[in-house]
Amino acid sequence: MTVVNIIEEAETLNAKLAPLSLAERLSFVAGLDVRVVFTTSLGIEDQVITAEIGNHRLPIDVVTLQTGRLFPETLALIEETENQYDIHITRYEPEQADIEAYAAKYGMNGFYESVEARHACCGVRKLKPLARALAGATIWITGLRRGQSANRAETPFAEYDAERHLLKINPLADWDIETIKSYVADNSVPVNPLHARGYPSIGCEPCTRAIKPGEPERAGRWWWEQDEKRECGLHVGEEATAVAAR
Ligand code: SF4
């Protein structure tokens, strides 16, 4: 598929997916004759998508980035989710040599010291494993929502990821958090107990804290950094070129 084709596909898919339900959106992309990968962080949005994939037995590869710094609650939820939906969630882990090289240069928790050191850690523990997880995929499904942060306010249903040369599908882009919570309650979806303790967005344990009432959903991620657009590099950057109408 050429770059032009894949951009056109994003524009077409965005229009096609907009009026559909979540199940219809997922079924549509699962029915395309390409490898479809869903990356889950086990957050509440991702649990909704996993429930749909599991309940409808959709041919979508469910994977997670086991960074080695996740909360015990998140690790337990991976297994609980597999059992509940009778699916396998493939864990992608960082290379030990990369971890050792990072620790030698920055210290194991060097990410607190500078943005550069933090990005280097996310690169080793998230971005490189993500590249392996997405190898051979044409479509990447994510749980991004417009309401998660100002940075994600214009998330389309389909966009072209130029760096990874694939189509990124965000089937929950237009869902709000109340709709997510209702779905979880109505369908007995297992969720991370940390959500109830003030963690709406959950990443690695040393880089996530509970938020205060009124703070944005992602305010607890890399809280010591000043940049309002702080992300781990999975979803935001020059490489993520949204081309679809929003
Ligand atoms: S979130 Fe923190 S611990 Fe996890 S990969 Fe990024 S810097 Fe490292």
d(CA 146, CA 140): 17
Q: Which residues of 78-91 are buried (b: 16+ CB within 10 A; e: fewer)?
A: beebeebbebebee
pLDDT at 37: 98
Model pLDDT, residue 3: 53
Among 65, 75, 121, name the best residue to mutate to test ligand 1's pocket (greatest count of ligand atoms within 8 A of Cβ): 121
Which among 121, 26, 138 has a CA at the least distance from the CA of 65?
A: 121
Taking Cα atoms as reference points, which of 92, 157, 96 lies closest to residue 131? 92
What local confidence, expressed as pLDDT, does residue 206 receive?
A: 97
Distance 125 CA to ligand 1 centre (A): 7
Neighbours of 99 (CB within 10 A): 17
Domains of the chain: 3-196 (3.40.50.620)
State the pLDDT at residue 245.
Answer: 27
**Catalytically active residues, by annotation:** 232
Q: What is the pLDDT, as a whole number, of residue 239?
A: 34
Residue showing tokens 């309650």: 185
Residuewise pLDDT in 10s, the chain (246 residues): 555 576 678 888 999 999 999 999 999 999 999 999 999 999 999 999 999 999 999 999 999 999 999 999 999 999 999 999 999 999 999 999 999 999 999 999 999 999 999 999 999 999 999 999 999 999 999 999 998 878 888 899 999 999 899 999 999 999 999 999 999 999 999 999 999 999 999 999 999 999 999 888 888 999 999 865 666 667 754 333 332 322
Ligand 1 pocket check: which of 75, 108, 118 to mutate, most ligand atoms within 8 Å of Cβ? 118
Name the packing angle between helices 44-55 and 22-30 (round to 10°): 60
Q: 220 C-alpha vs ligand 1 centroid, how far in Å?
A: 13
Residues with CB under 6 A from ligand 1: 67, 69, 111, 118, 121-122, 125-126, 203-204, 206-207, 232
The protein residue with its alpha carbon nearest to ligand 1, atom 3, reads 204
101 is in an annotated binding site: no
CB 65 within 8 A of CB 92: yes
Say what the pTM is: 0.89
